[in-house]
Structure formats: C-alpha cells, structure tokens
Chains A and B, each alone.
Chain A
Amino acid sequence: MKARVHVTLKPGVLDPQGKAIHKALSGLGFETVERVRQGKVIELELSESDPERARESLRDMCEKLLANTVIENYAIELDA
C-alpha cells in the first residue's frame, strides 16, 4: 500500500522559506499570490494491506519521527 505524509508548519510558525518563495513569485510577476507556506511530502510504501492499521502505524511514525509536532502538523493520505 502506498502512502503520502504531508508535513506542514503549524499556523503562526514563521516560515521564512515560504516568505522567500512568495517574494520570488511576486518578482516573476505572479501578483495574485497572497500567501505561501512551504512543507514537505514523504512517500512511503507499506507491506500493510489494512487501511486502518496502516493509518494507525503512519500516525505513530509521524509522532515519533516524520513530524516535529512542536512546530509541524501532518496529514496522512493513503492510496486506495
């Protein structure tokens, strides 16, 4: 089973990289951009076939390593 974990900075946490990207986009003439936040995507392949168990295991991975929950949120996406 394939899974994707999206890790994003919590609202309120300063994102200097997102700000720099925003500035660069504005410089390129993309004037409709109002806000940019940068995160990361982690792709995983699991031998687990039960979606509930996979989700539970992924949550555990996020809490222990993939995200720093002091500053980051995570979202888990499972491929059907």
Chain B
Amino acid sequence: MKAAVIVFPGSNCDRDVQVALAQATARHASGGAPIMVWHKDADFEKVELIVLPGGFSYGDYLRCGAMAAQSPVMKEVVRRANRGVPVMGICNGFQILTEAGLLPGALIRNANLKFICRDVNLRVETSQSLFTGRYEEGQTIRVPVAHHDGNYIAGDEEMERMEDRGQIAFRYCAPDGTLTSDANPNGSARNIAGIFNETKTVLGLMPHPERLADPALGGSDGRPLFDGLVEALS
C-alpha cells in the first residue's frame, strides 16, 4: 500500500502521520513509508491513499483551509477523490476538505473561543468503512484534539441526510460513550468530530489519531485507524 501525505506551508503534523502510516504499513503490508507531496506539485505518483495533515496551512489566512483548497496539488487531490481514491483529512486537513467541497458543512471558531489542546473521548459511530474497520461500532477511544476552529456546522437538511446515510464517523462523548454537551469540546453540532463523504471514501476528523498511535506516546487508540486503513487498502 502506498500513501501520499500532502505538505502545505504551515503543515505541522505531516511527519507524525507519515510515521504512523509507515509503522502500520510495516506491520501489515509492503510499500514502505508514504511519499511526501509538496503543495505546488500539480501531479504525483499513483497512490492508494492521500492524507491531508494537521497544521496551519497558509497561516489560516482568510479562513482555515481556504487557501490550501485552491493550491495546485488540491486540484489533483479533488480529481482523484472524485475517482474514488481514499482521502483522509486530519484537523486542518478536515478544514481543507470542507473548503474544497469534498465534505459537506464547515468548521467555525470553537464556541468558547479558545484553542483547545487536550485528550477527548470519541465514540466510533460505524465500523463499516475503510477507516474504522478495526474499531467496534459504539467503541469509545481516547484521542487528542488541538484546534481553534473545530466547531462543525452544516445545514439541517444536510445534517439529516448525513445521519440517514451513516456519514457520521466519530462523535465527542463522555468516557462511558454517552453524548453530552460537557463532552463536546468545541460546540460542534450533534457532537460531531468526524464525517465521511457519501461514498465513505473521504474522511475528515478534527482529533489527531496519529498523536496516540504508539504506546510510547502515552496511548495507542489511534493505531487501529492506520492499521485498518493499511489492511483494507493492501
């Protein structure tokens, strides 16, 4: 399995996600470490997975992800995503995916106006996807968030359509899995932390699974996401 990590000026989680994917690939498949693709590259080699990492692409100018969504590499990412190549956007990557129109809705300023950097609990809403196959539906996992603009919003009709199609991937929850407003760090509608596109080939999520994907980092609840992806795509 070969993956590409897209690097924008201001990306800062690109190496972490490269390591998490390289380790998962070494455990389950061949293919080696993901290639790193610079934002100015309008074309890159054929890959089975594209990752948009976290960070502050283009300094969050105009809106988070707005400038990155217009970069040369994103035209190619959108073209490949529309042909079915799986794409995952983490944090700033999620913001870029909504700005590029690959995922519905938008991410606005956290309800409490603060940059939030801490571990949160997530409820896995489905195991029926490339990304979540190694989790159980309803399982609670602990993953860190680190963002200022992670407050997910979409129109009511859009939201209903997403619920009906099972496009919600993760929700913020209490340690026992219940969805409470206390467990919602940023004010996201319906405690949403991550969503799929209609075909479930594109995932965007605010939390950082790559930051807890190795016991040496203090936890490994993020690891099954990378293991599952590598297995599914190999």
Instruction: List the interface of chain A (C-beta within 8 A of B).
Output: 13-14, 16-17, 20, 64-66, 68, 70-71
Q: Is the CB of B62 within 8 A of A66?
A: yes
Q: Is the CB of A13 within 8 A of B153?
A: yes
Instruction: List the interface of chain B (C-beta within 8 A of A).
Output: 62-63, 66, 70, 98-99, 104-106, 108-113, 151, 153-155, 187
Q: Which residue of A lies closest to B108 (CB)?
A: A71
Expressed in whole angstroms, the Cα–Cα distance for A14 and B108 within the complex equals: 9
Please tell me which one of the listed residues A13, A64, A68 contacts residue B63 in the complex, with CB atoms under 8 A apart.
A68
Q: Is the CB of A17 within 8 A of B109?
A: yes
Task: Report how many A-B pairs have Cβ atoms within 8 Å.
Answer: 37
CB-defined A-B contacts under 8 Å, sample of 10: A14-B153, A16-B108, A16-B109, A16-B110, A16-B113, A65-B66, A68-B99, A68-B106, A70-B106, A70-B154
Which residues of the other chain, A, contact B99 by a CB distance below 8 angstroms? 68
Q: Is the CB of B154 within 8 A of A17?
A: no
Q: Which residue of B lies closest to A17 (CB)?
A: B109
Q: Is the interface of B mostly helix, strand, loop or mixed?
A: loop
Shortest CB-to-CB span from B96 to chain A, Å, is: 12
Q: Which residue of A lies closest to B99 (CB)?
A: A68
Please tell me which one of the listed residues B105, B108, B113, B151 contacts residue A20 in the complex, with CB atoms under 8 A apart.
B113
Q: Which residue of B lies closest to A64 (CB)?
A: B70
Which residues of the other chain, B, contact A17 by a CB distance below 8 angstroms? 109, 113
Expressed in whole angstroms, the Cα–Cα distance for A37 and B104 within the complex equals: 24
Which residues of the other chain, B, contact A64 by a CB distance below 8 angstroms? 70
Answer whether A65 and B151 are a contact pair too, CB < 8 Å, given A16-B111, A17-B113. Answer: no
Expressed in whole angstroms, the Cα–Cα distance for A20 and B62 within the complex equals: 20
Expressed in whole angstroms, the Cα–Cα distance for A66 and B113 within the complex equals: 23
Q: Is the CB of B151 within 8 A of A14?
A: yes
